[in-house]
Structure 1
Amino acid sequence: MFLTATNLLAYLTDVGLASAADVVDHDLSIVELGRRNRNFRVMRSSGASLFVKQVPVVAAETSLSLLREAGAGQLALEEAGLPTLAAVTPRLLRYDPRHHVLVQEVIPEARCIAELLLRPDGIALDLVGAVAATLGRIHHESARPGSLARVAQCLGGEPPWIVEIGTRAEALMPGMSGASRELVDAIRARPVLTGALALLGRTWRRTALMHGDVKWDNIVVAPTRDGGRQIHLVDWELCNVGDPLWDMAGMMAALLQIWLLGGALGGDSRPGAQQAGAWPIGLVHPAAVCAWQAYRSEAGPLAGGAAPAQQQLALLTGARLVLMAFELSQHIERTPPAAAMALSMAAHFFLQPAAALRDLLGLQDTASAPWPRAEQPWRVPAQPHFSVQETMT
């Protein structure tokens, strides 16, 4: 069944997530959204609004990504030992493997963190710290033996695809753009890039549940019932059992992206964006230090010793910058300056990890320093606010 704005209501009615009364009372509107999948937002003035996702093409990769997101949602509903995951993921209402459809509850009044992150005096440290602390708690809780057993079949522990870009680019991106082709050639011409990526693939850790795609587009902020605010993580299609520091590397790369795009938070290289260097790199440093301190305070022993953990963080940040270069180069024919700079920064992280952490992120030995918390604490409830009514079907 191929979902459209016309037949979606019938589908939701058939599975018990909508009713004829929604139409009679004019209490429902459907908006089709773009992006990688077929996405729909079903808005209701009374009752929960819905987010519906269907893969555009049934293939092993797209089907697995939807299954993984459903797996994260099932864990949030059913695994008592993962309260942070339950608090910050969209509530799973239905997973339909036959039609490759996922239905989640829309997070009320959620705003993308990108709308709130930049302030006149720099990056909002309370927001950055809250995101990193949330990641640390998820990693700490999910590292408990047996906590991910119920979804082991869909979380295979594969390293991120970018570690194979030097050897399998054509298979991984059969329809790559001209700019992506240039990036592949540039990576293959620099042994430091191909060698470091391959090494990360061979030594990949499988320690905890990682989101796998931490970037500003996948983080939202919503009010809580008691007047506070809470971080939520969306789009769990790339979640897996893996190295928890991959998520932190995503955060660090996202902070560096602000500098690369001249103070912009967009996910592409828009022609009007300022050049790298127009926004001081020093403004990234307090946010990176805050994020690392907050993460280590919540992840605890999972993050390892200070020096080894920072070494691994540097290498993974380099890999995440290579991935970012491709994200900045989609659907265009020439490599944008920000993507080329991201590759150069990645090489710096690979060749001189300690210097790169210091020069680009302001990180030295920050293991024992406190992180600046918001005056009004961010809420991560010990138990989710909802009860389990439906599970994966």
Structure 2
Amino acid sequence: MLAFTGRCSYLSSPPISLTFLNVIITTRNLVQYLLAKQFVCSESVVDGDFTVIEVSGRNRNFKVLRSNGPSYFVKQIRHFDPQTVAMLQCEAACYWLARNDNDFASLLPLTPEFYSYDPERQIIITELITTGEDLWSHFRRARTIKAEVTAELGSLLGTYHSTTGHELKESPQSKIFPQNIPWILSPERRNSHPFKRLSPATTELFDRVERSAELSSALDELRDNWQASTLMHGDLKLENCILSGNGYNSNFDFTIIDWESADIGDPCWDIGSILQSFISVRIISLPPTEVRLSFRDVLTHPLHAGLSESILSFWEHYVVKLALDAEASQKLLERCVRYGGARMIQSAYEYMQFSPHLSSNALHLLEVSQDLLKDTGAAVEQLRN
């Protein structure tokens, strides 16, 4: 993975006054940590302008809420193994480079405000966007994602991809990134991935994918056609897209968070990832059924009104920034949809990682991914019509 040692001298180190603090931060000692780093003052704490909420998952995560100053999102890794450390260092590098290297300046509008990276304790502190919500939460609340919202996200990513490329890839700082292909595209990495033995459901899912010559062949083809041309996010999905504002007029912005999987890679992976995320959240929200689900079924389901419009709005506002003609745009859309099909298989693994049984909706994710990979042209035509 990423060998960041020796390259992170430009990232902030903890002051000597922090030597009293344990390596692991908690809700109890976080205030001392932030005081020592001078992100809060003792008066704020005494006056009660300091609230900590733990929202841990894969990492130790904390929201620090304040009224009279910036609020913070504090992230610390749980496991200090080389790969996990490298991923957090990768995220810190993205934030630092966006603010300090002209080759990476196009990242700046996408990322949250960056305050600190502590390489000893593996802690990142960024802005907590208190006025926003991630798109997954937005969908659960509103039961839809309006075309105006997806248009804004498409425009943001289109601007980014249209202004990055050769200069970024050729930058000396690009050596920070390992240039790996996504694990789902590699049979060796699929067979050795921790997901395979994480639960009985993921084990069965792996077996189904490997037994399918059609799926394996499609994934191999995508691996062979991989084009590493820009800095991609690597894990672009609704949960990592923060919408600020109400989403029903033009007064909102997007921030992309969680850049741990960032790498020099294929921009179609990121676009395919967000396209499949629009679709996958609809699939997993459907009532369970044993009947095979097709891509057309998803698009025409009564609960999914507006899905095609929101996806096409995203795409049209994305591709206009690339200034492509109609033929090139169609080819690019089909390529993105194919990578989206591969990412949907990965979504099925993530959905089942703690489940003892393979659910019908996980199988539906696999079924729809087959449609996207088997006849991409037909899938795009269904989307447009």
Corresponding residue of 2:63: 41
Tell me the TM-score normalised to structure 1 length: 0.81
Which of 126, 129, 151 is 1:107 aligned to?
129
CA RMSD across the alignment: 2.9
Offset of residue 228 of structure 1: 2.4
Offset of residue 203 of structure 1: 2.7
Tell me how far apart the structure 1 counterparts of residues 138 and 181 of structure 2 sit (CA, whole Å).
32
Say which is worse superposed, 117-126 or 25-34, in terms of deviation.
117-126
CA 1:80–1:147 in 2, change beyond 3 Å: closer, same or farther?
farther
Q: Which amino acid aligns with 2:84?
A: T
Which of 319, 322, 329 is 2:345 aligned to?
322
Say which is worse superposed, 185-194 or 6-15, in terms of deviation.
6-15
Corresponding residue of 2:260: 237
Q: Residue 137 of structure 2 contacts residue 239 of structure 2 at CA under 8 Å; is this kept in 1? A: no
Offset of residue 108 of structure 1: 3.8
Tell me how far apart the structure 1 counterparts of residues 104 and 162 of structure 2 sit (CA, whole Å).
9
Tell me how far apart the structure 2 counterparts of residues 303 and 170 of structure 1 sit (CA, whole Å).
41
State the SS of the aligned residue for 1:95: strand
Offset of residue 84 of structure 1: 5.0
Would you say 1:288 and 2:311 are equivalent positions?
yes
State the SS of the aligned residue for 2:129: coil
Tell me how far apart the structure 1 counterparts of residues 354 and 321 of structure 2 sit (CA, whole Å).
39
Q: Residue 166 of structure 1 contacts residue 194 of structure 1 at CA under 8 Å; is this kept in 2? A: no
Corresponding residue of 2:335: 312
Tell me how far apart the structure 2 counterparts of residues 159 and 302 of structure 1 sit (CA, whole Å).
29
* Alpha-carbon displacement from aligned partner over 1:266-316 (angstroms, at most 9, x marks no partner): xxx9xxxxx967545663211222111111112345999224313311320
Q: Residue 230 of structure 2 contacts residue 265 of structure 2 at CA under 8 Å; is this kept in 1? A: yes
Q: Residue 341 of structure 2 contacts residue 373 of structure 2 at CA under 8 Å; is this kept in 1? A: yes
Offset of residue 142 of structure 1: 2.3
State the SS of the aligned residue for 2:126: strand
Would you say 1:91 and 2:91 are equivalent positions?
no
Offset of residue 101 of structure 1: 0.8
Structure 2 residues without counterparts, runs of 5 or longer = 1-22, 289-296
Percent of aligned pairs with the same amino acid = 25
Correspondence list, 1:157-306, <5 A: 157-164=179-186, 168-173=190-195, 175-223=197-245, 228-262=251-285, 279=302, 283-300=306-323, 305-306=328-329
Structure 1 residues without counterparts, runs of 5 or longer = 270-274, 364-393
Size of the aligned set, in residue pairs, is 351
Say which is worse superposed, 108-117 or 54-63, in terms of deviation.
108-117
Tell me how far apart the structure 2 counterparts of residues 31 and 88 of structure 1 sit (CA, whole Å).
25
Tell me the TM-score normalised to structure 2 length: 0.82
Tell me how far apart the structure 2 counterparts of residues 166 and 328 of structure 1 sit (CA, whole Å).
22
Q: Which has the higher contact order (CA 8 A, sep 6+)?
A: 1
State the SS of the aligned residue for 2:27: coil
Q: Which amino acid aligns with 2:264?
A: V
Would you say 1:69 and 2:91 are equivalent positions?
yes
Offset of residue 181 of structure 1: 0.4
Offset of residue 136 of structure 1: 1.3
* Alpha-carbon displacement from aligned partner over 1:253-278 (angstroms, at most 9, x marks no partner): 112124313469xxxx9xxxxx9675
Q: Residue 82 of structure 1 contacts residue 141 of structure 1 at CA under 8 Å; is this kept in 2? A: no
Tell me how far apart the structure 2 counterparts of residues 196 and 190 of structure 1 sit (CA, whole Å).
10
Offset of residue 198 of structure 1: 2.3
Q: Residue 97 of structure 2 contacts residue 105 of structure 2 at CA under 8 Å; is this kept in 1? A: no
CA 1:344–1:165 in 2, change beyond 3 Å: closer, same or farther?
farther
Corresponding residue of 1:19: 41
Q: Which amino acid aligns with 1:164?
A: S
State the SS of the aligned residue for 1:162: helix
Tell me how far apart the structure 1 counterparts of residues 113 and 172 of structure 2 sit (CA, whole Å).
18
CA 1:15–1:150 in 2, change beyond 3 Å: closer, same or farther?
farther
Offset of residue 21 of structure 1: 2.5
Correspondence list, 1:130-169, <5 A: 130-146=152-168, 149=171, 151-164=173-186, 168-169=190-191
CA 1:171–1:329 in 2, change beyond 3 Å: closer, same or farther?
closer
Tell me how far apart the structure 2 counterparts of residues 175 and 302 of structure 1 sit (CA, whole Å).
46
Tell me how far apart the structure 1 counterparts of residues 311 and 29 of structure 2 sit (CA, whole Å).
46
Would you say 1:8 and 2:30 are equivalent positions?
yes
Tell me how far apart the structure 1 counterparts of residues 199 and 140 of structure 2 sit (CA, whole Å).
31
Q: Which amino acid aligns with 1:30?
A: V
Offset of residue 149 of structure 1: 2.6
Tell me how far apart the structure 2 counterparts of residues 197 and 40 of structure 1 sit (CA, whole Å).
37
Which of 142, 151, 175 is 1:129 aligned to?
151
Corresponding residue of 1:344: 367
